[in-house]
Chain A
Amino acid sequence: MADQPNLGGRKTGAFIRAPQDFYGGLALVALAVFTLWAGSDLSGMHGFSFGPGTAPRLFAWLLISFGIGVTVMGVIFDGPRLERWSARGVIMTTASILVFATTIRPLGLIISTFAAFMVSASATSETRWVETIIAGAAMSAGCAILFPYILNLPFQLWPQF
């Protein structure tokens, strides 16, 4: 036991030996249980024929068993530890999509493209703002020509009053 490979300084005697698998499996089980609950109002078999709820329940129970399998693997085998999330990238990327989604109808293509561009640019610390503002303006101008005029898609360009 003395010459074991160093697994990131973790004690090999710990109960959870592959945290990625352990929590990943638990999450799968949770998703499957959620499905069972969400589909609990659906009727099952009618004699020989499947009801709307049969297949979802069938697959949910299978997923529960596989989820437990993954969790158990996380207890039996050693694996890598959990990785850190880059909160800034995740939050700002999500925010930029949502900014686009909420502004495209009321404010039009030009403003919402520019806003989404700016928000997404703040996802990384490498962004240089002057350069980004110029690029964002060029991008919205390009989109304003490309989508409604060249590709003929029905986009409203400016806010409606």
Chain B
Amino acid sequence: MIDLLSNLALGFSVAATPQNLMLCLIGCVVGTLVGVLPGVGSLATIAMLLPITFGLPPVGALIMLAGIYYGAQYGGSTTSILVNIPGEATSVVTTLDGYQMARQGRAGPALAIAAIGSFFAGCVATVLIAALGAPLTALALLFGPAEYFSLMTLGLIFAVVLAKGSVVKALGMVLFGLMLSMVGSDLETGVARMTFDVPELADGIGFVNVAMGVFGFAEIMRNVGSGQGSREIVAEKVTGLMPTVADLKVAAPAIGRGTIIGSVLGILPGGGAIIASFAGYTVEKRVSKHPERFGRGAIEGVAAPESANNAAAQTSFIPLLTLGIPPNAVMALMVGAMTIQGIVPGPQVMTKQPDLFWGMIASMWLGNAMLVVINLPMIGIWVRLLRVPYRLLFPCIIVFCCIGLYSINNSPFDLGIASGFAIFGYWLMKHDFEPAPMLLGMILGPLMEENLRRAMLIARGDPTVFLIRPISAGLLLIAVALLVLAVLPNIRKKRDEVFVE
């Protein structure tokens, strides 16, 4: 406990320097802006801003990038509530009740409760990272290649189980992602794999290009195709920001539950902010005594998912900082940012660079406090921004994404890859495949293959090593149990459908 306090004190002394405070503020404001604008994801923005962090000191760079990420979770809610379009994928469910509240003239309390919920969740998540950092780091040191492989398998299975739709299709997507990650030079032998002698493919297919293609560009293709042009901002002027005491009473338990769900799902590889917000909403609807109020402006329906996504956005730093495993695409970009700064993500960060670890954690708390202060008065600006029609907005998004992708490697070839994956992403949508498991497979692919090969080599080619080592076996057992749980109700439902005929 005293350790924790002294560590946090160290963290605050690092985070509270004027330069780091400024970077944190910039990150939060940029993140909120990105969150408010529908179609510009936090992934695209972090990718775009990655090159400018090269010149910053490591702590400052990571503080700013983290700020963009959790700032975006927060900004997304504003658009969801005011326009009924999710500003960020993580606030899709917030549209359900948030927009209804806004139509009933309660946009102010909805925005305020989203802010309060996010702040509370951010505080809890910060403490959680601080508290779990040390024990998980100790655990990571017990992990051998077999355990790492099993843990990542569990993560991928999580992504599969939590993806909506068919489990088999999601598994197929994971496998395709793993195969994509194998294009390029083999890590051990240096042999070029599946590159067709294209020099640009020697380093592999950049996952940012794939992510921008299947998430960013494909989404635009779908929107312009469906003629989603008109948007209606309900609240011209947001008045009466403060929620009533009754509102707070109803929302408080929802915020608590949302925070817990979000924190847990954020830590698990394969989880993350998007799933957390859905889970938060579903649970809230289940436990509610009046589930019929949901979808008609229930304040819990705003409080729970918004707390959950913010908590998850922050706790997803835990696997990255303690185990060195990026649990989602944004964290994989953070790996890139850290590597450029000469930091290898993993258990050694905490022991070798305590100022960086604790400084970043402290900055998250400061950043959450800043978000509450800067956002409520800035809502007027966001509303004005949202009046820009989609027909003008989407070309801007495309151009920004192009510049961002190009600036990572100064390579036009990357843009070609991204456009190819844009079409592929559109095809995936039309065939009801989820792209998220594919991306996770691609991110975890190199680490998984490396650990699989090492584990097999140590075990002298005996694949039972994954089942003999207890931690590894336990992780795989959980993975199998999850799969069975996910598949069983599906089979039963489908069988019923068959029998109906």
Contact = CB atoms under 8 A, between A and B. Distances in A.
Contacts of B202: none
Contact of B193 (A4, A56, A94): A56
A116 B398 contact: yes
Given A56-B194, A151-B52, A86 B403 contact: no
A32 to B, nearest CB: 7
A88 B348 CA distance: 51
B431 A89 contact: no
B488 to A, nearest CB: 16
Centre residue among A55, A73, A151 by max chain B CB count within 10 A: A55
Contact of B189 (A31, A51, A78, A118): A51
A25 B394 CA distance: 32
A16 interface: no
Q: Is the interface of A mostly helix, strand, loop or mixed?
A: helix
A50 B182 CA distance: 14
A53 B188 CA distance: 12
Centre residue among B171, B396, B407, B452 by max chain A CB count within 10 A: B396
B426 A24 contact: no
Size band of the A side of the interface?
A: 35 or more
Nearest to B458: A48
Interface string B406-424: 1100101101101100110
Interface in B52-107: 52, 55
B431 A20 contact: yes
Interface stretch (B217-225, B325-333, B354-362): B217-225
Contacts of A145: none
Contacts of B426: 85, 90
Interface residues of B, number: 67
A88 B191 CA distance: 41
Contact of B221 (A21, A90, A126): A90
B415 A98 contact: yes
A83 to B, nearest CB: 5
Contacts of B49: 151
A136 B395 CA distance: 8
Given A39-B193, A66-B172, A131 B217 contact: no
Given A50-B456, A77-B494, A139 B194 contact: no
Contacts of A123: 220-221, 224, 394
Interface in A94-132: 94, 96-98, 100-102, 104-105, 109, 113, 116-118, 120-121, 123-124, 126-128, 131-132
Contacts of B452: 50, 55
B1 interface: no
Nearest to A143: B403
Contacts, number: 212
A80 interface: yes
Contact of A53 (B166, B179, B193, B415): B193
B146 to A, nearest CB: 14
Contacts of A14: none
A75 to B, nearest CB: 12
B382 interface: no
B470 to A, nearest CB: 23
A8 interface: no
A35 B194 contact: yes
Contacts of B229: 124, 126
Nearest to B188: A52
B399 interface: yes
Contacts of A54: 453
Contacts of B403: 100, 109, 113, 143, 147
A49 B145 CA distance: 14
A108 to B, nearest CB: 12
Nearest to B420: A94
B52 A94 contact: no
A98 B402 CA distance: 9
A76 B490 CA distance: 14
Given A66-B175, A105-B412, A73 B168 contact: yes
A80 B429 CA distance: 13
A23 interface: yes
Given A83-B430, A98-B415, A55 B453 contact: yes
Interface string A43-87: 101011111111110011011001101100100111010110110
A100 B406 contact: yes
Centre residue among B179, B227, B422 by max chain A CB count within 10 A: B179
A109 B400 CA distance: 12
Nearest to A80: B432
B186 interface: yes
Contacts of B499: none
A132 to B, nearest CB: 7
Interface string B111-123: 0000000000000
19 contacts: A24-B169, A31-B179, A39-B193, A50-B452, A52-B186, A55-B452, A62-B175, A63-B175, A86-B221, A88-B224, A89-B221, A90-B423, A96-B395, A96-B402, A97-B418, A117-B398, A124-B224, A132-B392, A147-B407
Interface of A: 1, 4, 12, 20-21, 23-25, 27-28, 31-32, 35, 38-39, 42-43, 45, 47-56, 59-60, 62-63, 66-67, 69-70, 73, 76-78, 80, 82-83, 85-86, 88-90, 93-94, 96-98, 100-102, 104-105, 109, 113, 116-118, 120-121, 123-124, 126-128, 131-132, 135-136, 139, 143, 147, 151-155
